[in-house]
Structures are given as C-alpha cells and as structure tokens.
C-alpha cells in the first residue's frame, strides 16, 4: 500500500495551509505528522484519507502496484479522530456491529474480544451517549485498530485518555499496527514515539 504526494497543497480562501508536499507513505512503515495546534495536521490527514481534495498537486493511492480510485480509498483505511463522531443512540454492541458491516475484523478478533479489550463487559448494552469522553475515545481507537485494513490513520489518539489510557493505546500499537501503513497526527511525543518517520507541517508553509 502506498500514498504518493506530488507537490500537494491545500488552501483556505487565499491562504495556503501547506504547499509543495512531495512525500511517499509506504506499507509497513509508521509516520508522524507533526505541528502545533491549528498548523494543518488534520487537514493533511484528510487529504491523505481522501475526504478532502488538494488545492494543488496530485495524490495517488496504490495497493501492490494497482491504482486505487479516490472514492474507494475508505475501504482500505481505519481512522480514529476527535472530529469523527460515534452514533450516540447506539449501544456499544450495536456500534460494533454497525462498524463491522463495513470492515472485517483482524484475524483472531471478534465482538466479544473487542469488548474484552475495552474492558467494558458490563457496558455491552449501554448507550454510547452515556459513555465518558475517555470511554468514547477508547472505543474509537479499538474500532480502528481491530479492523483489518492496510492503512491506519490516527489524529490526536490519546485525547481524553488518562495515563492508564495512554499505556493501553501503546499496547494497541504493539498488537495491531505491525505491517500496516500507520500515520499519526500529533504534537505529543508519547503518541508518536514509535513512528519511524517524521513529517513536520511547518516545513511546507508558504
């Protein structure tokens, strides 16, 4: 799996958020997109996952050398981000069932094991709207990590997590990120310390 950026830029009105990004993301590697809050990290991630079009340049997706159309990219990725909402009227069980109508579980995982991973056996039938912000973030992460997709994209993955939650997140990385193209948007080193490559958004300001 590869994502190739050629002179990519994105602007808001007349102001460039970033421009001139030439970069290739490759399967089995982990990447950190770094920058302060409001610098454009999330915008770049949205370009990378196909939900935003670049204002300039060209982006190409390929799986084992075969080109992937932009409107099919979502089939290949899992995303956890603060702006990605859960369906609050669903129970935990219903949310998991709904999510995995569109994705497959990673080998060896199923709904029961995911609930055990979350350590929420008594919350199976609890509505998501009654979950704490930390529980919701854990659920977002678990759904992303446990889906069998070649790409994993994480934006501020430990937001709303306490120290124990951060350790839990890092255990998910060890268990479920190997062999995938993993991209983490962050300005906190504990979230991206495992990443082999670093891309700083400030290097691509106008």
| CATH number (domain holding residue 55) | 3.40.50.300
Task: Give the whole-angstrom CA distance, residue 206 versus residue 202.
Answer: 9
Nearest CA among 155, 167, 97 for reference residue 128: 97
Helix/strand/coil for 135? helix
The pLDDT score that the predictor gives to residue 99 is: 97
Number of structural domains, the chain? Answer: 1
pLDDT, tens only, 1-56:
999 999 999 999 889 999 999 999 999 999 999 999 889 999 999 999 999 999 99
pTM value?
0.95
Q: How confident is the model at residue 206 (pLDDT cuts 50, 70, 90)?
A: low
pLDDT, tens only, 70-93:
999 999 999 999 889 999 999 999
Judged against a pLDDT cut of 90, whether residue 171 lies above it is answered with yes
Q: What DSSP state is assigned to residue 68?
A: E
Helix/strand/coil for 170? helix
Q: Which residues partner with 155 through β-bridges?
A: 185
pLDDT, tens only, 94-119:
999 999 999 999 999 999 999 999 99
Average model confidence (pLDDT) across the chain: 95
Range of the domain at 153: 2-204
Please state, as a whole number, how many other Cβ atoms lie within 10 Å of the Cβ of residue 110.
Answer: 13
Q: How confident is the model at residue 161 (pLDDT cuts 50, 70, 90)?
A: very high
DSSP-assigned states of every residue in 7-55: EEEEEETTEEEEEEEEEEEETT-EEEEE--TTSSHHHHHHHHTTSS--S
């Amino acid at each position: 799996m590869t994502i190739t950026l050629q002179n990519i830029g994105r602007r808001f009105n007349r102001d460039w958020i970033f421009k001139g990004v030439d970069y290739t993301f490759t399967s089995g590697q982990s990447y950190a997109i770094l920058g302060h809050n409001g610098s454009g990290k999330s915008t770049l991630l949205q370009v990378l996952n196909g939900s935003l079009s670049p204002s300039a340049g060209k982006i190409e997706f390929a799986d084992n050398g075969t080109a992937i159309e932009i409107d099919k990219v979502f089939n290949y990725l899992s995303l956890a981000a603060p702006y990605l909402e859960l369906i609050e009227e669903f129970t935990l069980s219903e949310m998991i069932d709904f999510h995995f109508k569109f994705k497959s579980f990673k080998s060896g995982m199923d709904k029961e094991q995911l609930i055990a991973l979350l350590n929420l056996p008594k919350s199976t039938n609890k509505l998501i709207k009654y979950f704490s912000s930390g529980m919701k973030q854990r659920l977002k992460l678990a759904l992303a990590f446990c889906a069998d997709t070649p790409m994993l994209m994480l934006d501020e993955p430990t937001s709303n997590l306490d120290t124990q939650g951060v350790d839990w997140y890092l255990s998910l990385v060890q268990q479920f990120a190997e062999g995938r193209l993993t991209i983490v948007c962050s300005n906190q080193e504990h979230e991206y310390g495992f990443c082999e490559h670093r891309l700083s958004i400030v290097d691509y300001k106008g």
